[in-house]
Structure 1
Amino acid sequence: MIFDIWKQIKAKQFSSLYLLYGPEAFLINETKQLLINHVLNEDGIDFNLSSYDLEETTIDAALEDAETFPFMGERRLIFLQNPVFLTAAKTKEKVEHNLAKLEAYLKEPSPYSIVVFSAPYEKLDERKKITKELKRKAAILEAKQLNEGELKAWIKERSAYNGVEIDAPAMDLLLSLAGTNLFTLTSEVDKLALYSGAEKKIDEESVEKLVSRSLEQNIFALIDKIVHRSIEDALRIYYDLLKQNEEPIKILSIITGQFRLIYQVKELARRGYGQQQIASHLKIHPFRIKLAAGQAKLFKDEELANIMKLLADADYQMKTGGMSKGLLIEMFLFRLNDHV
């Protein structure tokens, strides 16, 4: 649905009304930018682009603008931010909206304006008449968190937009290294496309070489070495982190968080939860749950319990000043070798 709407916008097949809603800010911002680029010409942007915050401005004022003829262009483009009247949220409204005016506009939208409702809410109140009417009339983009399949479709689409192809192993590695944040993924795909050369292909080798690693991703690599019993490699990564002036207490916190996740995934899977259910229960992206589930299979219950105890001991000593902070993680990794 996301890509369908974007294709229509790029083909200049516009709707008079758009409803963009959901918590994924990147998708909403990207859609807005596409509309600006394809609806307005450069000369008309200053005259025909408007944005209203409906927590501060009445819907009447915004719709008056929508009913005004465009100047130096064919259409007006009007963004209506934070339409709180579409939600069930109890808010202290600063303005009073004339929803009857909006209902009348929805029945007969201006032919020379495109009105975009931008609602950064998880859910809309489907019981409200105005919500039902808007959803019936508008082109809708639900900006929700993408699942693994949708993320891969996104990466493939973004690569194609840059005129390059990306293979499946490269996509898997990119998601592992860059995570699931769309702002980050877009930046990395654009960079990889720029360096793809004459072949116009992104492969696993180029991802390994060029994708930036956050502290969390470097520690993920460290944990991956631990779960595969490569303690020497884990120590090498840890020493590199120290050379980058990363704080041992932060490193320990992220290691602990990942092993806690592995433990939780293993326990919930034993209770019969599927990966999607676990992701929903823990409020963590399904792709991270999938990776943790794979890691959980490499540990027995008692091994994970011992690791959690070692981490708790290291955390206590780090906070009470019992030993050098840097040395504590090194000792944890050495002791871990005896337990895994």
Structure 2
Amino acid sequence: MVLDIWKQLKKNKVEPVYLLYGTESFLINETKQLLIQSVLSDEEIDFNFSTYDLEETPVEAAIEDAETFPFMGEKRLIILQNPTFLTSEKQKGKVVEHNLSRLEAYLAEPAPYSVVVFSAPYEKLDERKKITKELKRKAAVGEAKRLNEHDLKVWIKERAAGNGVQIEESAIDLMLTLSGTNLFMLASEVDKLSLYAGESRRVDASMVDKLVARSLEQNIFVLIEKVVQRKIEEALRIYYDLLKQNEEPIKILALLAGQFRLIYQVKELSRKGYGQQQIAGVLKTHPYRVKLAAGQARYFSDEELSRIMKMIANADYQMKTGGMKKELLIEMILFNLNRA
């Protein structure tokens, strides 16, 4: 995990070669920034920092740079983007030829004055390839994958601590409920809350409720939560607020359909004995979303969920054929959900 690399960097332990791979781009970008801060001073960046796109440049050119002594500093930092030779994915357009034997020779004896970082934005690497095996053996490897609930909470707490702020557990739970699991959005919210905390240096749930922006998806989740609690007036208030924000009724309906589909699927897979992590893998969604959907699933029988999905499908048909005013269709659904 890239989080392990972060821990080492905070202890000023820097390796000569790194391999970062995975689809969670935020974690890869954060790791790159930490490496820059750990290896180079502000004055050295202009002279000793280079980045190469290996979809356009042969790897041997980057290796030659890594073997060049640093100028006005002790270390060079070279980031190699898109090492396509580590994956089996087909390349589009012109394919660059790489001298991989040159890279293997460098890995056997990396320059002590350079830090070389391979940044591979791929879900999987081709483990059958010799160069992949060699790089994973010689480099410090960090996989950037979606964080589970525990790691998300640890990450939020550590980011707040990095801002000199302590964040309460209840505040973290509410933030995840309101903002979802997108790290770019969560980082922005944590930084904003840290500034707002001021001299108290503490963030509580009331501050999160007051300041954290709700994504449309999370507004839909909260709306359904109000329906579950049979608080129809509050559910309608959320819906009317969404309309005031110029959200399209057909988009709101699509998200309602998606959330109830998730609730139904989680309920069905749970019945078959699947755990939350397994369900997340099957449905290709974040485990935290599965956890929340599982909590909502307890309040609906299979028959109710089936009826709700038919009701939403009928509303979708009427919206697309002009059978009734779009805004009114969703109001009717919410009233009917209240009776479910």
Q: What TM-score do the two structures reach when normalised by structure 1?
A: 0.96
**What pairs with 1:205-220 in structure 2 (closer than 5 Å)?**
205-220=206-221
User: How big is the shift at 1:54?
Assistant: 1.0
> What is the distance in 2 between the residues matched to 1:97 and 1:171?
46
User: How big is the shift at 1:129?
Assistant: 1.9
- What amino acid is aligned across from residue 20 of structure 1 in structure 2? L
Corresponding residue number in structure 2 for 1:29:
29
Identity %: 71
Two-structure CA RMSD over aligned residues (Å) = 1.4
**What pairs with 1:162-177 in structure 2 (closer than 5 Å)?**
162-177=163-178
User: How big is the shift at 1:88?
Assistant: 2.4
Q: Given that residues 12 and 39 in structure 1 are in contact (C-alpha distance below 8 angstroms), is that contact kept between their aligned partners in structure 2?
A: no
User: How big is the shift at 1:314?
Assistant: 1.0
> What is the distance in 1 between the residues matched to 2:110 and 2:207?
49
> What is the distance in 2 between the residues matched to 1:51 and 1:35?
13
Instruction: Report the 3-state secondary structure (helix = DSSP H, G, I; strand = E; otherwise coil) of the residue aligned with 1:42.
Output: coil
Corresponding residue number in structure 2 for 1:49:
49
- Of residues 140-149 and 3-12 in structure 1, the stretch that sits farther from structure 2 once superposed is 3-12
Instruction: Report the 3-state secondary structure (helix = DSSP H, G, I; strand = E; otherwise coil) of the residue aligned with 1:287.
Output: helix
- What amino acid is aligned across from residue 49 of structure 1 in structure 2? F
CA deviation profile, 1:167-224 (whole Å, cap 9, x unmatched): 2111111111111111111111111111113221111111101101122222211111
> What is the distance in 1 between the residues matched to 2:175 and 2:109?
46
Q: Given that residues 87 and 123 in structure 1 are in contact (C-alpha distance below 8 angstroms), is that contact kept between their aligned partners in structure 2?
A: yes
Q: Given that residues 83 and 118 in structure 2 are in contact (C-alpha distance below 8 angstroms), is that contact kept between their aligned partners in structure 1?
A: yes
CA deviation profile, 1:226-266 (whole Å, cap 9, x unmatched): 12211121112111222222211111111111111111111
Corresponding residue number in structure 1 for 2:68:
68
Instruction: Report the 3-state secondary structure (helix = DSSP H, G, I; strand = E; otherwise coil) of the residue aligned with 2:199.
Output: coil
- What amino acid is aligned across from residue 34 of structure 1 in structure 2? L
Instruction: Report the 3-state secondary structure (helix = DSSP H, G, I; strand = E; otherwise coil) of the residue aligned with 2:43.
Output: helix
Q: What TM-score do the two structures reach when normalised by structure 2?
A: 0.96
> What is the distance in 2 between the residues matched to 1:7 and 1:285?
24
Corresponding residue number in structure 1 for 2:247:
246
Corresponding residue number in structure 2 for 1:137:
138
Instruction: Report the 3-state secondary structure (helix = DSSP H, G, I; strand = E; otherwise coil) of the residue aligned with 1:198.
Output: helix
- What amino acid is aligned across from residue 8 of structure 1 in structure 2? Q
Matched, 1:16 2:16: yes
> What is the distance in 2 between the residues matched to 1:55 and 1:283?
29
Corresponding residue number in structure 1 for 2:275:
274
**What pairs with 1:251-270 in structure 2 (closer than 5 Å)?**
251-270=252-271
Corresponding residue number in structure 1 for 2:320:
319
Structure 1 segments unaligned to the other structure (5+ residues): none
> What is the distance in 2 between the residues matched to 1:20 and 1:50?
17
Q: Given that residues 26 and 183 in structure 1 are in contact (C-alpha distance below 8 angstroms), is that contact kept between their aligned partners in structure 2?
A: yes
Structure 2 segments unaligned to the other structure (5+ residues): none
